Amino acid sequence: MWPAAGILFIVVSPHIANEIHANPHMSMQRPPLLPRFFKPIAGGANMFDMREHDWKPWRAMFSKAFSAEHVVSLIPDTVDETMVYSETLKKFAEQEKMFQLDLITLRFTIDVIGKTILYVDNPAVYFSPQGQQLTTRI
């Protein structure tokens, strides 16, 4: 069950999720499982598993990047990359053979991040030494 081994509470009710989100005591606490889950990916503390007083300064720094206006502006590039990903999957499916989804999905993820965050339109980024290091790390 790696990486999600341990006790995990999942809320599927929109009403209950809204109640939890509205309660600052509940919504600001991070499950103790998160640091163990994110450590292999992030290498240490990060915004996903930090306590409120640790992540608040970072939230202020990154809040503009998550504004509704900015996220909406990313949709066209995200859709373009998703179409490329979809076509890639269709080509593999037409061959009617088993294939590894991990590397294809990882490359798609790197392309989306490259295009939306780094403003790089380079589908071969994962073949560069830096891209190889990133894919190995992930």
Res. 127 pLDDT band, cuts 50 70 90: very low
Res. 130 pLDDT band, cuts 50 70 90: low
DSSP states of 39-99: HHHHSS--TTTS-HHHHHHHHHHHGGGGSHHHHHHTHHHHHHHHHHHHHHHHHHHHTTS--
- Supply the pTM of this predicted model: 0.55
| pLDDT above 90: percentage of residues in the chain | 17
* Better-predicted residue by pLDDT, 104 or 30: 104
- Please check whether residue 26 is in contact with residue 20, taking contact to mean a CB–CB distance below 8 angstroms: yes
63-84 pLDDT tens trace = 888 888 988 999 998 998 899 8
